[in-house]
Each structure stands twice: as C-alpha cells, then as structure tokens.
Amino acid sequence: MAQDPPQLIFLDTQTATRPDGFGGEAPLVTGELFNHGMHGMDAYANIRVYAEAYDANGELIGDGFGFLVNACGTALLDYAMPPGRIQAYEAPYEIFAEGEVAQVVMSVAADAVTPAPPPVTESGLAHPVVYDEVVMLEWLDEDTLIYGVGCEDAVFTELDWWQYYAPDHALKEVEHPDARKVTPEMIERSAAAMITQSGDLNPELYFGSQMTYSPTARRIVYQNDLHSIYSAEPDGTYKRLIHKYLHQQSLRGFLWARNPGVFLAYYFGAYGDPVHYFAAHVDGARVTGLIDSLPPSQTVPGPSPDGIAAVVGRSEGDVSGYFWQTTYGGGELLFEAELPGNNYPAPIVTSDEIYVIRPIEGVPTLQCFGRRTRELTTISALPLQLTRGARAWSWLSPAAGVLALAANGVDGGLWWIETGGGCA
C-alpha cells in the first residue's frame, strides 16, 4: 500500500455499521480527512482511504477501502482536495477471519496535483461565513440567522443547525426551534409516515416528507408517500389536502414568499430538467392552478409576495430571459438574460425589486431588477463554484438589506451579501 501523503490527516475517526441490503449490518469507518498543506501547496486527487481491522493479538482479520464523500454520502471520485480543506470520508470493510476487532488502522493514498485557482471573487460584497454544505436557512432578525448543514434531501430535523450573529461574527451550534415539536405522536397524527394503501406506519417515510414549518405562519407543509401535499397544525392535527396527483413529480423544496404563509413548491428530476411548480397558502388554499396548468420553467421559479405570480426563466422563440408568469395568463418578458440551470437560486421577489443570481460570461453574478423602473443593476460577482451535482439557494433578510447565499457540494458554504435595501 502507498505511503500516506504527509499532509493528509485523519480527524474524528469512528467505527460504525450500516444496513448491508441482506438484513444485516456492515462495518465501516467514518471521519474526516484534512489537507494540512498551506496555500500554494499540493492538492490531492484519486484519494483512497484504507481500513485494516486487527484482533487483540495483532492479527489482520478484515480490510476494506473507501472514498471522500459529500454530505449525502456520495463518493467524490473526481475531486481534487485543495490545501486547508476538510472533507468527510467513508470506508466500509469486511471481516474475513474469526476474532473480535480490537483496532482499526487507517491509511490513505492519493496523487498530488496542482491546486485549482481560487473562486472568481472573495471580495466585494460577498463575505464568507462558513464553508460547510449549507442547505437550509431562516432569518431570525436583520442581524441573526440560523442555517442547516447536511444533505439537501434531508428533513430539517436531520441537519446540524448553527446560529450566526453578524455584528460579532459569532457562530454557535443550536437546535432548530421547531425540532422539539416533531415527536412520534405528531408524525403519526400528520400521516406523514403512513402507507396510504394499507394505513400502516413506516417511520422511514417521515424522512422523505420534506416536512417544513412555515417561518411566517403557524402551520406546517409536507408530502405523504404518494407525494400529495398537505398542511397541518404544528401538532399534526387538522390536516388539509393542498395538491394530489403528484406521485410522478420529484419535490425539491418549498420557497416561502414575502407574504406570511405563502409558499411555492417546486419539482424537477435531474440537472437540466424543466421545473414544475405551484403556489399555495399553509391554510390549505392554493393560490395558483394545479401544477400542470402552469408552463414549466428552465430555472427554479421565484414567487411573488402573494404567490399569484412567479418569476421564471425560459425561452420564447429567439428570446431567452426572465418572465413574469401569472397564474392563468401568459408571461411578460422582464429582461433578456443568459439563464442558469435549475441548480441556481430562485429569484427573490419583493414589492419593488427582483433579485436574480445568474452567470454573466460564465461568472455567477447578483443582479437587481427594479419592478417600477424596469432597470437591471449588477450588484456583485459571487464566489459560487457550482457543478451539475451541486445546488445553491438564497434568502433575503426581513428588511431586505442582506442576502444570504448558500451552496452545497465540495465548494459549498454560506456568504453574507449587503444589498443596500434595493436596486440603487
């Protein structure tokens, strides 16, 4: 086996098990790998992590290998780990001889490569907060937010939550304020874990429900095993069906409009697929037509404050750009633009502005479109480095003075962007 690259250091190594697909448990080692090299030093590609299991007599009784992984556990096979980066790994192993495992010894092999150039900008208005895989966020006030780190498909109770207070640049680990409301009894009452055909409970269904508490209203929204969208009281009672016949759609998230309780549910499969959507209120009333009545968007739509319209990205004839799509009528072109993929953040729509993040000559850029002036203003280039397997999101603060930008993947993070409260 190749010698360990001297700059790659194992952190937080733990042994665990996971289901093996045959009703048993398979052993594995999890942890993090740290490239201790400084700026200008080597990056490492083709990283293989090896595990060797020994008994109390020092006899080798098992071995295996694994790779660096992202927050969803997907192997990062084409990733070159830059200096100063920490990345999770998983290394399953097999026991091939009798005996009890007394020690698991880890080693790593990799190829040294030249580090990639840094992001296009880390200056200007986009200030980095953290470089974790940030996939959810809620504003508490104009200076304070909480954010969730983990897999983008995870329900909010499965994420690691942190609070950031901007004036002191202070971070602290917290519990999401709604997490304690999610009890087995609440999940059972909501039917988020019920098999519709039989009425039996399957607790695993909750983890695919995308259950979400409204940040601006009382009720929750979620999908059941048939992907029908429901709302309910915080304790799971008084369920209301909002939209059914969605079993062939892949829910990717809920976007909350500026008006209290209004949300937009959006759906797509893989990168490049069209985005379908509808808007509703947590009280159970849809504010748009059924999902099939709205033309799909190339980008993730941004709901208007009342949810009755959405800013979508699409092409009509030779024109490609952002359109104001009303509920049942046609779309009005706002401005022509090079459109991003469905992994970019949705536009954020206020009563006066529309904030858009899109590539301009290949550089992710934040722009602001004045709804009254009809003028498009470029605010700042952004440090996003999105691949087809990564996504980004953005959230506007309550007073519209700050935009929080987040991304997952190996180049994920959270950035604080001063908008100045408008397009001027």
At 2-13, the pLDDT tens digits run 456 668 999 999
* Calpha distance 96→119 (Å, rounded): 46
pLDDT at residue 1 above 50? Answer: no
Sign of CA dihedral 326, 392, 253, 187: negative
- β-sheet bridge partners, residue 160: 149
Q: What integer pLDDT is reported at residue 2 of this predicted model?
A: 45
Q: Evaluate whether 257 touches 279 at the Cβ level (below 8 Å).
A: yes
Q: In the chain, what percentage of residues exceed pLDDT 90?
A: 83
- The distance of Cα 265 from the centroid of its chain, to the nearest Å, equals 15
Q: What integer pLDDT is reported at residue 4 of this predicted model?
A: 64
Query: What count of other Cβ atoms lies within 10 Å of the Cβ of residue 40?
Result: 8
Helix (H) or strand (E) holding 366: strand 363-370
Q: Convert the pLDDT of each residue in 192-220 to its tens digit.
A: 999 999 999 999 999 999 999 999 999 99
Q: Convert the pLDDT of each residue in 130-186 to its tens digit.
A: 999 999 999 999 999 999 999 999 999 999 999 999 999 999 999 999 999 999 999
Nearest to 156 by CA among 139, 134, 141: 134
Q: What integer pLDDT is reported at residue 335 of this predicted model?
A: 96
Q: Evaluate whether 104 touches 93 at the Cβ level (below 8 Å).
A: yes
Sign of CA dihedral 123, 125, 131, 135: negative
Q: Convert the pLDDT of each residue in 69-125 to its tens digit.
A: 999 999 999 999 999 889 999 999 999 999 899 999 999 999 999 887 766 555 568
Q: What integer pLDDT is reported at residue 120 of this predicted model?
A: 57
The pLDDT-based confidence of 39 (bands split at 50, 70, 90) is low
Please give the DSSP secondary-structure letter assigned to residue 117.
P
The whole-model pTM stands at: 0.91
Domains in the chain (CATH in brackets) are 8-113 (2.60.40), 126-418 (2.130.10)
